[in-house]
Amino acid sequence: MKFASRISAREPQIDAQNPQHTPSQPSFQKLGRSAFRAAACAFLVPILCGWFLAASAEPESTPKAKVADAPAEPSPAETAGNATTEMSVDEMLSLAAKQLEDKLYFSAIETYTNCLDKDPRNARALAGRARAYKESGETEKALADEKQAQVLEETAAGPLPASQIETPDSPKETDKNSDDPGQLGAELLRKGDFKNALNHFNIALKKNQNQPELLSSRAACYLFLAKYDKAKVDLDLALKLDPKLASAYARQGQIANKNKDYTQTIVNTGRSITLDPKQSLAYGVRAIAFAQQKQLLQALKDADMAVANDPESGLAYYIRGQLLANQKNDKPINDFKKAIELSPKYFDAYVSFAQLYANRLQWDKSVDVLSKFIRENPQSADAYKVRGDLYFILTRYADALYDANKVVELEPNKAASYVFRISKLIPMKRSAEALRDCMKGLSLEPKNASLYSQRSCLYMLSEQYNYGIADATRSISLDPKYAPAYVNRGACYAALEKYQQAQADFLKATILDPNDKDAWRNLGSVYFYLSKYAQAIPCFTKSISIDPRFASVYMDRGRTYRLLGKYELAARDIGIARALGHTAN
């Protein structure tokens, strides 16, 4: 047996399963593991100031993804996403046509756009993108592409004047009807563009700090940006200036939601509704609180009221979509579509929409939704992280690494960017690149526990166990609650046959993260090596309960049962392991 090291503790925002994947490595593969371990459909999505959990009962447990060995140098042609940049124009046109046929409109738009980057005068690409825009509801862009395609066809014999070429994706001229920064901020807030909205509210408030409605609106931006202390200061001042400001009480309810004080949320939002019975935000915030208290019917009633009171609020549709997410009909799909239509900059709505498709095993549509956001917001590192995680779960390694590279390109001075890329490089066996990223990340943030833990994993893979122990120990000293570091140090100790130290580390990891399948599996293996077979069985069983497709653990448990003389149970587990793709004897 070999002990699995831990790459990262980062939880992806989208949890997914790959039902077609079958692990091929023997138990305790030295490759390590990815960070995808949370139960499908149970991730948290930030909403305003708090976290919105799925309101109804958890969906049925489904098999989780297990990342297979990636080729050392994955070919871009193996994927159909970002790797289109390596294709010829004709290949991209064929791929985009297939995406259109499969109704993957956002992916088709991205592919046609990549095609036009290579050949700006390609009328077929423009016509195809026009159709994709039209099908996805972006009529203005569709008309612009159709017009440009028509001009290209009419002037095919000669060069097209630059003045006649329109760029549908370029920003349109800003509406000049109002130079009021407060009004512009309000429009940006509704669209989900919180950073720019905040800048406009700051400008407006510089002229006059005593504007309660603007203070409340700025607080909303702070809440979305997780700056809760600043939001509270603004709301307190707003209510001091206007004790009957309904929106301020609603947003105080959001802060109470963030603090999990749902009773206080209901009090604050009730006060808001009393002052303004049409206050959509208050109904939406209260719906979240009722959902947390398992009062689903009341939560849905409030969510319906939020939409009815403000049918132009993307947030209202987003909240209701979250509440309906476990339903098997099109209602949550329609709500999320409306949410991103009204708030095209609100990333959480896209994540939830993508998660919905992932829950339904509609992987292409899940990727499609995230690709739409990235196309509209190409500077969002968070979006590339989420899509990169999803690509990796789906074993689309070249695309995952492309997104990880974009994260580093967009945020090169953040250690977290390198942590993310390392989490993709290590399982792809690109250790030299991962080590360079560790060094770069540590130069930016010398006390980053994740980077020391990841470098420990790299030392483990290269059999430099003492160096691995030193780095894992350093990680633990920086963050004593960082479970991956204990897993990595324990794996190094186990490789050196220091089983007592390994046992202590794996036990600590299971306490810090009870859902870490590798910690439980490694702990079971330590007991196995110590001939404590009866103690090993429940550890292997716990690991399997976390990931029912963890083939090599079935093999481990089967061998343990065999040593205990439980031959029927042993044969069953070994049979399951082989059915899942385990090939070792």
Contact 7, 400 (CB under 8 A): no
How would DSSP label each residue in 442-510? HHH-TT-HHHHHHHHHHHHHTT-HHHHHHHHHHHHHH-TT-HHHHHHHHHHHHHTT-HHHHHHHHHHHH
Contact 374, 391 (CB under 8 A): no
In order of their start, the domains of the chain are 45-68+430-579 (1.25.40.10), 77-154 (1.25.40.10)
What is 89-116 written as a DSSP string? HHHHHHHHHHHHHTT-HHHHHHHHHHHH
DSSP symbols for 368-412? HHHHHHHHH-TT-HHHHHHHHHHHHHTT-HHHHHHHHHHHHHH-T
- This prediction's pTM: 0.70
Under 8 Å CB-to-CB from 321, ≥6 apart: which residues?
332, 335, 336, 339, 349, 352, 353, 356
Q: Is the dihedral of CA 505, 509, 511, 515 positive or negative?
A: negative
User: DSSP state, 4?
Assistant: P
CB-based burial, 149-169: b 16+ in 10 Å, e otherwise: bebbeeeeeeeeeeeeeeebe
Contacts (Cβ under 8 Å, ≥6 apart) of 4: 28, 29, 32, 33, 487, 491, 518, 521, 522
Q: Please report which residue ranges of 192-295 form alpha helices under DSSP H.
A: 194-207, 212-224, 228-241, 246-258, 262-275, 280-292
Asked if 573 contacts 545 with a C-beta cutoff of 8 angstroms, the reply is: no
DSSP 495-549: HTT-HHHHHHHHHHHHHH-TT-HHHHHHHHHHHHHTT-HHHHHHHHHHHHHH-TT
Cα–Cα distance measured from residue 436 to residue 443, given in angstroms and rounded to the nearest whole number? 11
Amino acid identity of 544?
A: I
pLDDT score for 177: 42
Lookup: tokens for 421: 């890329």
Distance (Å, whole) CA 219 – CA 117: 40
Q: Is the Cβ–Cβ distance between 489 and 472 less than 8 Å? A: yes
pLDDT for res 9: 56
Dig out the tokens for 368 from the structure.
């499609």
Residue keyed to tokens 């077609």: 20
pLDDT along the chain (585 residues), means of 10: 60 46 27 24 26 28 31 37 64 83 78 84 87 79 83 56 44 51 93 93 89 94 94 94 94 94 94 95 95 94 95 95 92 95 94 93 93 92 95 91 96 96 94 95 96 95 95 97 96 95 96 95 96 96 93 95 96 94 76
Sign of CA dihedral 259, 262, 263, 268: positive
DSSP letter at 67? P
> Smallest Cα–Cα separation from 438: which of 5, 2, 8?
8
